[in-house]
Amino acid sequence: MAADAPGLAGRTILAVFAHPDDESVACGGTLARLADAGARVVLLCASRGERGSTSDPSLVSDGDLGRVRAQELRAAAAVLGISEVLIFDHPDGDLRWAHALELEAEIVATIRRYRPDGVITFAEDGLYWHLDHIGVHERTDDAVRSLEADAPPLYFVTMPKGVMRAVVEAAISNGWAPEGSSFWGITADAFGAAAKPPTFVVDVRPWVARKLAALHCHRTQMSASNPFARIDETVARRCLGIEHFRRAPIDTSGESVLELLGEPVTSR
């Protein structure tokens, strides 16, 4: 894969998300593609996801879901080729409000430490108005802007409306998930409902198997009614094979980096 975007070898990309599994759901294919192109991918996860659902109580024998989800995240990161995983212990469910300035300072410190050539985080809509995701978007946006002339390019990952609906419908029609299945109780049409249009897309169809494998590492989140639990590669290629990004409108001296994998947005 070294021939894929040679300009990425040796570059560093920092991804900032809220919970274990966000990285795989939002842009697992792009992270794997970056890693394969020789980029160092660093993931900052603001919480351990300790208030999430549990598909099977036997997976969390000591009741410490956050501990198990942190392990799941490290397994997913290994599948995606992520070099470093930084898991902070901010309170799941309260990321927008609790210790917001500390989180922002940690993001700034992480950027100073790793000097990324680009930063990826949620867009304003937090994929589906999840307040933790919106909080991480806000803190990351503020953190990057605070660096002024040293700010790396910032990219917001979005999901077009209809993608998750297509996954749900495919999972139900193939008998992989029961009628009425949803993503963690969230209606599929919430995903991308308020997303602004992307400025470029990344074709990750050859990386979809890795994205699925990474998603499946998050075992506590893969109950039988989760449409991701059993979808096959063909459906995943069709529904999840294109990842969408928008470059944040920040003046920065940093060169474009994620655009090296990007393709212009065609009418869709």
| Residue ranges binding Zn ion (CB under 5 A) | 18-19, 22
Residue number with the smallest Cβ distance to Zn ion: 19
Question: Minimal distance in Å, beta carbon 82 to Zn ion?
Answer: 16
Residue 2: CB minimum distance to Zn ion, A: 32
Closest CB to Zn ion among residues 22, 138: 22
What are residue 87's phi and psi, to 5 degrees? Answer: -110, 115
Q: Strand, coil or helix: what is 97?
A: coil
Using the minimum distance from each CB to Zn ion, give the nearer residue, 37 or 190: 190
Q: Which of 214, 265, 226 is nearest to 24 (CA)?
A: 214
Smallest gap from Cβ 18 to Zn ion, in A, equals 5
Q: Smaller CB distance to Zn ion: residue 24 or 252?
A: 24
Contacts of 16 (CB under 8 A, 6+ apart): 44, 46, 107, 110, 119, 120, 121, 136, 140
| Whether the Cβ atoms of residue 53 and residue 224 lie closer than 8 Å to each other | no
Of the pair 17, 207, the CB lying nearest Zn ion is at: 17
β 200-203/118-122 pair status: unpaired
- Quick one: tokens of 136? 């991480």
Closest approach of Zn ion to the CB of residue 111, in Å: 21
Shortest reach from residue 133's CB to Zn ion, in Å: 6
Q: Alpha-carbon distance 22 to 28, whole Å? A: 9
Specify the residue, 53 or 253, whose C-beta has the smaller distance to Zn ion.
Answer: 53
Rounded-to-integer distance, Cα 70 and Cα 90, Å:
13
